[in-house]
Chain A
Amino acid sequence: MIDVKRRAFAAVVLAGALLVAGCGSDGAGSGADATAPTDPANLTGDITVLTNRTDLVTDGSMDKYAAEFKKVYPKVNVKFQGITDYEGEVKIRMNSDEYGDVLLIPQVVAKADYPKFFAPLGEQAELSRTYSFTDYGSVSGKVYGIASFGAANGFVYNKDVWKQAGVTAWPTTPEQFVDSLRKIKAAGVTPYYTNYKDGWPLSSWSNVVGSVGCDPKANDKLATTEPWAAGTDLTVGDSLLYTIVKEKLAEADPTTTNWEDSKGQIATGRIGTMWLGSWAVSQMQDAAKKAGKDPSVIGYMPFPAQSGGKYCSVVSPDKLYGINIHSKNKPAARAWLDWVLHKSGYAETAQAVSTIKGAPAPAALSGYTEAGVTYIELSQADAVKVTAIDNASEIGLTKADYRQKLIDIARGAAKGDLPAYLTDLNKKWTAAAKTVG
């Protein structure tokens, strides 16, 4: 409907009339709540599920899940659409009504717009008793998106490489961490790999927010304070990255890095470590298996900072599942959503943190459990504002660009130095914060 309006609007302009007004603006229809069905055997409907895991669609894993699902809900048919450029493509499809029944909510959709696109799944007060991360998908007390799974953050590292360099305990300060990397370099291994070229692995450095100072309000504070003031989480994280590159402890040519390659390289001990979400551990272990190595060589360590003698790691959700507000089979869609979260074992297979409260920690994080790492969930009270400032300032906390620039400065490929760059970022951020109400 929106689409038709836009097109009609465009035609008016084409006709030469200087008529400019808002585009289609009536939002989406009033969808009923997507409530869970009561009678599985008689639930009918065909649903389409959009996913970014094209690999699982092509290798048939998704069909296996669907077959399992069909045992409980025999009259529901599930179809999958694997989309490679998930963010870009789904964003455009969301201008129409046809964006599947169950989908992963693209990051581009502003949280405030969730009620226009997705069916409400229930009251937050109630759902938060069962699910973690409901803060991320709730608008005024109602939940529109439930996290598919969560991940802790830290450094994926090759245990053998670290041991051979003589480092056995996790560093507790950034200085110690850099020191360890120097030892690794002396042992003839590339200590750190930035994944500069692919870019998105760099953006995970923004997850240091909260992990450094162990403050659940760290993200909300970005809305009111200078994110790169002295001693803030982002300053500590970005300074560490800067030092790593500046001291040539990262790969020689960041502009030609290759993500797929990097998995094999860390598995075979040609790379020491990379900062990534805990979801990456299982992928690196797979790479180790493929290279004929023991998967247990891949370890995971928290950010080198302690508060109260303990490490800290933010656990944050991956993409959220939502149900299309225009879906004709909302009960069937909800049935699939609940089944995936509770029964499919999808999160366990990926060694991810389950969204279900009280589920055991994944194997990838066994090291964290042993060391007694504190897990925190970031408050999302001001998340909408933080995202708005981020976009208005064109810095892109969740994008690669500003850290690529940081790395360029560190390796001498761009003018400037770290303090000047951080001041500049602060300036942009504060200016944008003023324009955002």
Chain B
Amino acid sequence: MTQTATTSRAAPAPPKGAKPKAHRWTPWVYLAAPLALLVAFTYIPVASMLSYSLTDWDGVSPDSTFVGLDNYAQLFTRPELFGVFSVSLYYLAASVLQIGLALYFATVLSFNVRFRNLFKGILFFPYLINGVAIAFVFLYFFQRGGTLDTVLRFAGVDSQFLWLGDPDLVNVSLAGVSVWRFMGLNFVLFLGAIQSIQPQLYEAAELDGANRWHVFRHLIVPGITPIISLSVILAIAGSLSVFEIPFVITGGAGESKTFVIQTIKLAFQFNKTGLASAAAVVLLAVVLLVTWIQRRLVPDERNDLV
């Protein structure tokens, strides 16, 4: 550290004003377009949202009054507004399954398997479909006498379940759709990470007599830890902010209302744009908090293998 500092001090400093000023601005010129877009479409809207969250604005009226932290106070004093986070637990549980499955398939397909590329395609395909289209497909899939019931009948099970109508089942069904959809993404991330592990290590392991489980446990898992931890963060953030699948399939009816659906309803059904903005800010804060905790618990060590 000290050494670097000394070196840089020893280097001849450029004479002041010798370089044309334009050079200093060059990187900024390149950055101008992306920065402008970033500011215009991310930071200004977020700042507006913060400012709305301090007002009682109804979303359309030209007038609004400043109410301070009232909206936040309301959010934290009305338990039913926070209760909907319990729905996220279903999705959280599902994402554990999702990561497990993705890891399994990624490991299996990283070895030489017949029809490897075909399976890769099949597993990744759902992620490429638009979420709303998926929701529509599954709406018919879960219908009484729909695809799922028909398939079960072929298998000899005459199910009487209301997949979306039963309050104990609806979130399981919806979380299942989420697993089907996002497993492909995890799978591809894991597969990419596994394939970047140097092949010599496998050979060495083989020479040392390691079996497949040993290879997985001591070579693959440590090698892709950063990717697994990224997936976990994404899964947690994702399950806190589930939206499109339940919104299109059930509209948040019954027990399937998530925090984001509730926010949308506050803003666009009951015209409480201020309260809804506060809810959105709180969701952002919760996601940041969870990410921070997760990073503290599982520090991102530089790994020798990657």
Interface residues of A (CB under 8 A from B): 2, 6-7, 9-11, 13-14, 20-28, 87-88, 91, 94-95, 106, 108-110, 113, 116, 196-197, 199, 252-256, 391, 394, 396, 399-401, 404, 408, 411, 413-414
Contact = CB atoms under 8 A, between A and B. Distances in A.
A10 B43 CA distance: 9
A255 B64 contact: no
B164 A391 contact: no
A382 B139 CA distance: 41
A268 to B, nearest CB: 17
18 contacts: A10-B51, A13-B48, A13-B50, A14-B47, A88-B268, A106-B60, A108-B60, A113-B61, A253-B143, A255-B162, A255-B170, A391-B58, A391-B271, A394-B272, A396-B269, A401-B269, A411-B165, A413-B166
B152 to A, nearest CB: 15
A401 B253 CA distance: 7
A91 B59 contact: yes
Given A23-B57, A27-B62, A394-B266, A11 B250 contact: no
B50 to A, nearest CB: 6
Contacts of B162: 252-253, 255
A256 B61 contact: no
Contacts of A110: 58, 61
Given A255-B165, A401-B269, A408-B254, A14 B62 contact: no
Contacts of B272: 391, 394
B44 interface: yes
A105 to B, nearest CB: 11
A10 B254 contact: no
Interface string B142-164: 11101000000000000000101
B304 interface: no
B244 interface: no
A87 B269 CA distance: 10
Contact of B270 (A7, A252, A394): A394
A248 to B, nearest CB: 13
Contacts of A6: 48
A391 B44 contact: no
Contact of B62 (A7, A10, A116, A253): A116
Contact of B167 (A24, A197, A400, A408): A408
Nearest to A112: B61
Interface in B36-72: 39, 43-45, 47-48, 50-51, 54-55, 57-66
Contacts of B43: 14
B60 A91 contact: yes
A91 B267 CA distance: 11
B167 A11 contact: no
Given A22-B64, A25-B64, A256 B164 contact: yes
A24 B52 CA distance: 12
Contacts of B50: 13
Contacts of A414: 167, 254-255
Contacts of A411: 165
Contact of B254 (A27, A252, A391, A404): A404
Contacts of B64: 22-23, 25
B120 interface: no
B51 A256 contact: no
A410 B167 CA distance: 13
Nearest to B67: A20
B254 to A, nearest CB: 6
B251 interface: yes
Interface in B247-278: 250-251, 253-255, 265-266, 268-272
Contacts of B62: 2, 24-28, 113, 116
A226 B64 CA distance: 29
Contacts of A9: 48, 51
Contacts of B55: 22-23
Given A13-B47, A255-B170, A256-B165, A197 B59 contact: no
A22 B265 contact: no
A95 B66 contact: no
A21 B165 CA distance: 46
A80 B152 CA distance: 49
A23 B164 CA distance: 42
A256 B139 contact: yes
A411 B254 CA distance: 11
Contacts of B268: 87-88, 91, 108
A88 B268 CA distance: 7
B58 to A, nearest CB: 7
A106 B271 CA distance: 12
A121 to B, nearest CB: 20
A2 B61 CA distance: 10
Nearest to A398: B269
A404 B255 CA distance: 11
A417 to B, nearest CB: 16
B54 A20 contact: yes
Contacts of A91: 59-60, 268
Given A27-B62, A256-B139, A396-B269, A196 B253 contact: yes
Given A25-B62, A253-B143, A394-B266, 11 more contacts: A10-B51, A13-B48, A22-B55, A106-B60, A108-B58, A199-B251, A252-B144, A253-B162, A391-B270, A408-B253, A413-B166
A125 B54 CA distance: 41
Contact of A109 (B60, B63, B143, B269): B60
